[in-house]
Amino acid sequence: MRRGNRDYKPISNKPIKCIVFLSSDEEQDEYMAKKKEDKQLNRINEFTKRNNLLPVRIFRRGIMGTGVRNRLFYNAIAYMKAGKADAIVAVNMDAISSGMADAYFKVGLVREHGFRMITVDEKEQYLYLYEPPKKKQEVEA
């Protein structure tokens, strides 16, 4: 009898609306890029079911370059700023960034706006830096 995942705790108890970000390293063959992104989507769907995440939008990079990947990432942040999602989910940080510095920049950008970055391989991404407390914004009538 297997007892794996016996003490498994989901990332969140309440449902979190999230954006799925698909990106493969394939830049020549469109068919292979779609096939790899579909495999990523299957892994992410299993992960979201286990962790109480609700995918609301899927961003696909296809065979496009890093410029398109960055534009899709900024579109995802704008989508979250509009209040339609609260997190970005990807297979790993390599799908979103081109290196370590870029990964830290993008995680910091997401965290600065108050959202979450979650990957299937590394779980939730944090920057272990001082984050000042949020100020309450006063609404003038």
Number of domains in the chain: 1
What's residue 32's pLDDT? Answer: 86
Whether residue 78 lies inside any domain: the answer is yes
3-state secondary structure of 102: helix
Whether residue 21 lies inside any domain: the answer is yes
What's residue 64's pLDDT? Answer: 82
Asked if residues 126 and 118 have their Cβ atoms less than 8 Å apart, the reply is no
Q: How many CB atoms lie within 10 A of CB 11?
A: 17
Instruction: State which residues form the domain around 63.
Output: 16-124
**9 is written with which tokens?**
């705790």
Render pLDDT for 68-125 as a digit per residue (tens, 0 to 9). Answer: 888 989 999 999 989 899 999 988 888 888 888 888 888 888 888 888 888 888 787 7
Predicted model pTM = 0.75
Whether residue 42 lies inside any domain: the answer is yes
Whether residue 116 lies inside any domain: the answer is yes
| CATH number of the domain that residue 118 is part of | 3.40.50.1390
3-state secondary structure of 33: helix
What's residue 52's pLDDT? Answer: 85
HSE on the CB side for 97, CA within 13 Å? 17
Whether residue 86 lies inside any domain: the answer is yes
134 pLDDT higher than 80: no
Render pLDDT for 47-57 as a digit per residue (tens, 0 to 9). Answer: 888 888 889 98
